[in-house]
Structure 1
């Protein structure tokens, strides 16, 4: 009996050891594979195109992305991450486990960038916004925006290529190639210029590009969306009569000085095709990126007989409109006096 007791005691000890070891292995497995792993407060982790596996693993450790880099490395090897990591913008959350995180990296299950843009004045501004939101840098995008051959491919030229980019919100993957992003905007432009908008442009005897150039001037003039159709109607009246547009925003653009608050005679003398005080008709391209509201304001302009306008002297951002020079001079004098009262000289 004594010998049997010893054997039973030894067996119990072995079973206890096996149980403890099993529980320890299960606990480690749970911590390594299933438990929440993310330690950083960063919202996204970025894997660059053609970035070596070793670099990604090192950054995950150096940037404190996960709680236990050793566990992460073990699971990464177990899931063969080194043979299948994909570039992209990956969402991080506190409940994300190593297994899910690595599965996303292997499968390329990234989250798209909700890219929204508006109120951009220059190509450089747009290139900067693209470079900030996507993997390629702003210089790469600016070179594409200035590429004459690329512009012609889509039916534009270097001066008006900026018109192809309709301000809105777009879902685009972070590591999408720059050329593919440009192509995406071409498709969006084609959707925007549907049959209805094209018919309205044709009724104005204008191309979509010409409508958009005028819309950029309307956008430059209007601080309030509800006034855009009125302003658009004024410029259309001037075009129909063969008058100079004499739009101050085009003068500011031609002078390349966006600090100008008061357009003076010296600003009007610049010999530049964007100066609509000297050159009749529309300028060769937009003076800023037109908004959807400004484009639709041109297409749905208010029909009236106004050919002059001047900012109101209450600085509300609205305008006084006039049919005659005499009426306009009264409005202009009030505004000039208001500028003088505020000591706005330039």
Structure 2
């Protein structure tokens, strides 16, 4: 065989080899390699994991791990793992799957009116990577609380119910600071001036708003309820707010899972600074997270002479208001009789 033929043969063999390699890589990259997904699913890659950890996480969804690893090697993924939340869809190939693992998807974090800071962090920990302990330590950091005028009892005021967007692997500090920015944004000059006219601090407004929040779910009634409580405070009366007794009972028994539908006379004697049947003025902290409507109700209360109210049996979900104790006793008897008739304890 002459040299020219030898070169030609080598070239052909090399070309065939390249074609085989190209086809093999194409098959590894672009043939469907996903399973166990009806439509789509989310892959969660924790922080500081090894490539072996990632393999264990994705294994239930990968048809051929060798194919996936071949593409991962091309992307140098083992030394460049990104933590977070990632979307995989039905029919994806290894290339698509690897591309998806490079796109961290934001998480919409929501929470309602949690009763305690512990309940809040537990709720958040179900939606993002940081655990409840790390969140609690960051949220109740002594320096943070001192700089912003909070205590362990009032720091809940800094976290307002809303929908926030984070990456799943967000740091606890980022979560705290983002939420606190919303608190600062809410307390603009106009609202601070309204609080000042009430002779209240933003934290005190939040404490009262939390009681209003628990007292009524009707937004169109909150300003009237807030007005009644503010009238009591101005007169130096006991607030006598049933929601504070409920909170005191839960805290006293260390059971925030219990459902309390009715406050009995014996409950009014629970020894607690949160029991406003025993202690004049506001309780030392929030009994729940007030939403914006409750905060606004305290800042813009309805002007009236009512100082008493109890649940209405004629307009369910609302209250009957009274300016005198005599009228209140009539309204209260209607309600207690209704409770008894319906067997509500």
- TM-score, L = length of structure 1: 0.87
- Please identify, of 258-267 and 77-86, the stretch whose mean Cα deviation from structure 2 is larger: 258-267
Q: Does 1:81 align with 2:77?
A: yes
Find 1:66's aligned residue among 56, 59, 62.
62
Deviation at residue 95 of structure 1 after TM alignment: 5.2
The change in CA–CA distance for 1:96 and 1:219 in structure 2 (over 3 A counts) is: same
Matched positions, count: 330
Which residue of structure 1 aligns with residue 319 of structure 2? 319
Segments of 5+ residues of structure 1 without an aligned counterpart are: 1-6
Which residue of structure 2 aligns with residue 173 of structure 1? 167
Which residue of structure 1 aligns with residue 113 of structure 2? 119
SS of residue paired to 2:120: helix
RMSD (CA atoms)? 2.6
> 8 Å contact 1:276–1:283 — kept in the other structure?
yes
SS of residue paired to 1:274: coil
1:93-132 maps to which residues of 2 (within 5 A)?
93-94=89-90, 96-105=92-101, 107=102, 109-132=103-126
> 8 Å contact 1:37–1:94 — kept in the other structure?
no
Counterpart-to-counterpart distance in 1, 2:342 and 2:99: 63
Deviation at residue 67 of structure 1 after TM alignment: 3.0
1:204-257 Cα shifts (integer Å, max 9, x gaps): 221111111111000010022221111111111111111111100001111116
SS of residue paired to 2:89: coil
> 8 Å contact 1:147–1:158 — kept in the other structure?
no
- Please identify, of 309-318 and 158-167, the stretch whose mean Cα deviation from structure 2 is larger: 309-318
Deviation at residue 290 of structure 1 after TM alignment: 0.8
Counterpart-to-counterpart distance in 2, 1:145 and 1:159: 12
Q: Does 1:235 align with 2:235?
A: no
Counterpart-to-counterpart distance in 2, 1:60 and 1:194: 47
- TM-score, L = length of structure 2: 0.87
Counterpart-to-counterpart distance in 1, 2:34 and 2:189: 50
1:293-342 Cα shifts (integer Å, max 9, x gaps): 11111112211111000101247111000010111010001001101101
> 8 Å contact 2:311–2:317 — kept in the other structure?
yes
Which residue of structure 2 aligns with residue 219 of structure 1? 213
Counterpart-to-counterpart distance in 2, 1:100 and 1:317: 53
Find 1:38's aligned residue among 34, 39, 44.
34
Counterpart-to-counterpart distance in 1, 2:244 and 2:226: 15
Counterpart-to-counterpart distance in 1, 2:181 and 2:147: 13
Which residue of structure 1 aligns with residue 307 of structure 2? 307
Which residue of structure 2 aligns with residue 331 of structure 1? 331
Counterpart-to-counterpart distance in 2, 1:23 and 1:192: 64
Counterpart-to-counterpart distance in 2, 1:163 and 1:25: 62
Counterpart-to-counterpart distance in 1, 2:269 and 2:186: 37
SS of residue paired to 2:34: coil
SS of residue paired to 1:74: helix
Counterpart-to-counterpart distance in 1, 2:36 and 2:155: 41
Counterpart-to-counterpart distance in 1, 2:21 and 2:314: 76
> 8 Å contact 1:211–1:295 — kept in the other structure?
yes
